[in-house]
Amino acid sequence: MNRILIKNAKIVNEGTIFEGDLLIEDSFIKEIAESISAKPDVKVIDAEGNFLIPGAIDDQVHFREPGLTHKGNIESESRAAVAGGITSFIEQPNTVPNAVTQELLEDKYRIAAETSYANYGFMMGGTNDNLEEILKTNPKNVPGIKLFLGSSTGNMLVDDEAVLEKIFSSTKMLIAAHCEDEATIRENLAKYKEEYGDDIPVKFHPLIRSAGACYISSSRAIELAKKTGARLHVFHVSTAKETELFTNKIPLEEKKITAEVCIHHLWFSDADYDTKGALIKWNPAVKTAEDRQALWDALLDDRIDVVATDHAPHTLEEKKNPYTSSPSGGPLVQHAVVAMFEAYHQKKISVEKIVEKMAHNPAKLFRIEKRGFIKEGYYADLVIVNPGLPWNVKKENILYKCGWSPFEGVNFKSRITHTFVNGNLVYTNFKVKDLRCGERLLFDR
């Protein structure tokens, strides 16, 4: 029997921090108390002065397997995720081939069962012509349906209005949407291509994939969700104007329309293109400092429900291509939790709120079974964070297969010291153990 006792931790759960002990037995949290006596067969970890938080649940990653494994794969990126305190992830369907049939979706689950360090769920992809396959999706063991309403990596743009309405009105599953208006983007791109050819300065990216393009698409998707009664989750909100589309007037459990913000939109602004260039080229684009502040405001007042990464690695060689062939996306799972703790040190957000947005709310929103909270009987997906252990991000400690990070050179004040997945200590002494112990996420639906 695997038994681990974590002592003297600042346990963070459901808006409170209390000092106490926690006993792990096999895969689960067995006991939480002010003080638990150590038995001879129990491994003891003293967490004094450190936070014990539920493992983060990242509701949007691109781990690139199958078909794009020169950029990353489930094994390499889940390894980086557990080092970063992310114990569960939901991966997107724009791999090669796209996960748009039940058979292709299950292929990804088979790979993860053998190779993933973290718990995993895979979104079913929607296209203009696969409604029959979408309707076969099992809500108990698949997190939701992903729709690209603006083109991104891959070829999954859903732009047929009749098909969209049919999908929205036919499925009771959560629909997660990438919202950017394709016609607006194409028009903007044509204007800049006329002036610069393919080598458009990357600083124009937020003007090409503009705030207007985001708002048009998000507002249309929300209108359609309201019309059809669909359950809609809007991925990576990036503009001030979009934040006005969401409400904080009702509890998350009652919301039918929810929103996510990503680390890069909370950290960077368009001023950073001068130094970071294509390394911070994402879709949707990083926009103005005013947009960034509005995203923080909406996150803190609960119009935005979840913080995620949209982790999407590309090689440095690919990123160095001219603008029109330089892919959008970047790796983030190893540094997301500590980036949010940096905001805690800057007094922008509390630790309790970080836990709410990165663990509790993803679990509630997707109705994930027995994860996302520190409760007796729940899976022991846990992370110890030392808030006073500074470190510097450099090539040697980056675990992404692509070998780079937009945070390279950043000094973080906090560091993750331990990560547990299903009760297994997978990360300690700043090393990931060779324990691929992730399990398939299940959903209470």
Cβ atoms 139, 172 nearer than 8 A: yes
Report which residue type is found at 325.
S
Predicted confidence (pLDDT) per residue in 12-42, tens digit: 999 999 999 999 999 999 999 999 999 999 9
Inter-helix orientation angle 74-83/102-115, to 10° = 60
Predicted confidence (pLDDT) per residue in 55-83, tens digit: 999 999 999 999 999 999 999 999 999 99
Task: Read off the tokens for 401.
Answer: 């297969």
Task: Please count the other Cβ atoms lying within 10 Å of the Cβ belonging to residue 31.
Answer: 12
Query: Buried (b) or exposed (e) across 210-219, using 16+ Cβ within 10 A?
Result: bbbbbbbbbb
155: pLDDT confidence band, cut at 50, 70 and 90? low
Cβ atoms 296, 348 nearer than 8 A: yes
- Return the active site residues: 310
Say whether pTM exceeds 0.85.
yes
122: Cα separation from own chain's centroid? 12
311 vs 303: CA distance, rounded Å: 23
167 vs 134: CA distance, rounded Å: 8
DSSP state of 434: S
Phi, psi (5° rounding) for residue 206? Answer: -75, -10
Whole-angstrom CA distances from 257 to 41, 50, 164, 305, 347 are 48, 35, 16, 10, 29
Q: What pLDDT was estimated at residue 153?
A: 52
215 vs 239: CA distance, rounded Å: 8
Which residues are CB-contacts of 434 (< 8 A; sequence separation ≥ 6)? none
Mean model confidence pLDDT for the chain:
97
106 vs 98: CA distance, rounded Å: 12
Q: What pLDDT was estimated at residue 16?
A: 98
β-strand 175-178 against 145-148: which pairing, if any?
parallel
Whole-angstrom CA distances from 103 to 51, 90, 137 are 41, 18, 11
362: pLDDT confidence band, cut at 50, 70 and 90? very high
Tell whether the model's pLDDT for residue 151 goes beyond 70. no
